Amino acid sequence: MEAYLFYIVAAITVVTGVYLIFEKNPVFGALYLIQTMVSIAVLYILLEAQFVAAVQIIVYAGAIMVLFLFVIMLLNLDIKEEAKNALPFQRIPAILMGIALFAVICIVIKAKLLQGKHDQYTTAYVNTVGNTKLIGNLLFTEYLLPFEITSILLFAAAIGAIMLAKRKL
Amino acid sequence: MNKELFAYLVIACVKVLLVFGTIQFMIISMIWLERKIMAHMQVRLGPMRVGPHGLLQPIADGIKLLFKEDIIPEKASKLLFVLAPAMALIPALITFAVIPFGDKVKILGYNVDLVITDINIGFLYVFAVSSLGIYGVVMAGWASNNKYSLLGGIRSSAQMISYELTLGLSLIGVVMLTESLSLVDVVNAQGKLWNIVLQPLGFFIYFTSAIAEVNRCPFDLPEAESELVAGYHTEYSSMKFAMFFMAEYANMITVSAIAVTFFLGGWQGPFLPPVVWFMLKLSGCLFFFIWIRSTFPRLRYDQLMHLGWKFLLPLSLLNILITGLIMVIKG
């Protein structure tokens, strides 16, 4: 049952991802991206990571993509104009860098470099304590420093955005 | 299929149908009640012709909308134009999946929780789903290919994004007190004392942002007739328009139900059965919406943004700070 669900959702994720790249109309592209985000959230739920799934939808599908769509709709980009502006000499470096990125991701996954907590943190244990509680605890004890640094980074980005948008306050 | 699983499925389906049916019924009766109550507040009679005291008016309106010509503008983006009303309505309805409307009851020997599903991230689920409601409005505004629709859609989504933040933050205080994200736990924790007593500021912020979130008067700028014709649903007719209308009322019922769950003790109450208490509180909240609509004039757009970002947002952060401080002092 779970495996079938995974195959269906994974297929939707990949197909919408491909559509996103080949779609000419930016508004539809953004909508495909939203579908991809939501499908990934479903995949998180299948992995029993409910907290991450909810945050994925709230932050990406609910907040960031709305702003994306917003800007695209306001600009009302003309499809033909877009095609003209494309830079032909970008293509070859783009393909090469794409392959390089894919290779790096493969190496990282293969070498198991990015592994979080495991040992005692089995699925059964996580479910008894509660997903959100455990993440909160770890975030404010063991991972406090990275957490705070990330928040400062985001804060700086927010200030930068305001400075760019409103030169004179 | 074994008996346990079968019973579970049947119970789940019955609950879903029951809740869905009740919401539909409430939407229909809300339309009549709103017209009646507002009329009486303005010393008018309201609908009187169709049925006794105009009781059959919503049904007449529904039939009228059903038989109207369904117009899709020539230059509209057809797929999105058709999809948008559904995108607006569905999030409003599926939020109810986590709202508890009664205590455990025993029916035919089975223990039935009067909530469709109790998930441990209930609070986050509510906000994940309600944040998707914006897309219906944005898509309708863009797909109509009409400048009034687009402006209405943009206004509405800007308003919803701004107030969603305060809406979420105002409930954090309750979550801190309950120490759980499950809505069932939130209600159970209010057996002795309703959260509105502990979180009066939170309730005030929640209700103000809730009115703005569902685009109701005095925050109904997206459909300010004098400026924008009818906002994002200018080009909509027939049942598609009806769906936007239903979405507005369904949203109103949803935010009221959340207010009841988080601040007014959910189904808790003496003497009467829990479900009755829940419906009574819900009706009270909905009456409040109508009352406010017929009392306040519409805000200006800059006033709305000022209220959201410069007043309600700092206030909700202050509320979290005070709640945290008191919790630390009391241990």
Closest by Cα among A30, A32, A29 to A15: A32
pLDDT in the model for residue A11 = 93
pLDDT in the model for residue B54 = 79
B1's tokens: 């299929």
Residue A6's domain is classified under what CATH number?
Answer: 1.20.120.1200
Whether pLDDT at A156 is above 90: yes
Cut 0.80: pTM above it: yes
pLDDT in the model for residue B294 = 85
What are the beta bridge partners of residue B111? B106
In a domain, A58, yes or no: yes
In a domain, A66, yes or no: yes
> How would DSSP label each residue in B25-94?
HHHHHHHHHHHHHHHHHTT-----SSSGGGTTHHHHHHHHHHHS-----TTS-HHHHHHHHHHHHHHHHH
CB distance B128 to A58 below 8 Å: yes
Contact residues, chain A, for B158 at CB < 8 Å: 70
Any B CB within 8 A of A35 CB: no
Q: Which of A34, A54, A73 sits opposite B124 (nearest CB)?
A: A54
Contact check, Cβ <8 Å, A66/B181: no
In a domain, A20, yes or no: yes
pLDDT in the model for residue A153 = 95
Contact residues, chain A, for B119 at CB < 8 Å: 50
> How would DSSP label each residue in B120-141?
TTHHHHHHHHHHHTHHHHHHHH
Any A CB within 8 A of B84 CB: no
pLDDT in the model for residue B225 = 65
Any B CB within 8 A of A125 CB: no
Any A CB within 8 A of B82 CB: no
Q: Which of A55, A57, A70 sits opposite B154 (nearest CB)?
A: A70
Contact check, Cβ <8 Å, B161/A69: no
The Cα–Cα gap between A22 and A26 comes to 10
The Cα–Cα gap between B241 and A75 comes to 27
Taking one residue from A and the other from B, the number of pairs with CB-CB distance under 8 angstroms is 65
pLDDT in the model for residue A155 = 93
Length of chain B: 331
Map residue B300 onto helix, strand or coil. Answer: coil
Range of the domain at A33: 1-86
- Over residues A59-66, the mean pLDDT reads 84
Low-confidence ranges of chain B (pLDDT < 50): none
Per-residue pLDDT reduced to its tens digit, A20-54: 888 878 888 888 998 999 899 999 888 888 888 88
In a domain, A75, yes or no: yes
Closest by Cα among B138, B140, B136 to B237: B140
Closest by Cα among A64, A61, A71 to A26: A71
Contact check, Cβ <8 Å, B124/A34: no
Per-residue pLDDT reduced to its tens digit, A73-112: 777 655 555 555 566 778 888 899 999 999 998 888 888 7
Any A CB within 8 A of B309 CB: no
**Structural domains of chain A, count:** 1
Per-residue pLDDT reduced to its tens digit, B92-149: 888 888 888 877 777 777 777 777 888 888 888 888 888 888 888 888 888 887 778 8
Sequence spans of domains, chain B? 73-330
Any A CB within 8 A of B86 CB: no
pLDDT in the model for residue B162 = 84
pLDDT in the model for residue A26 = 81
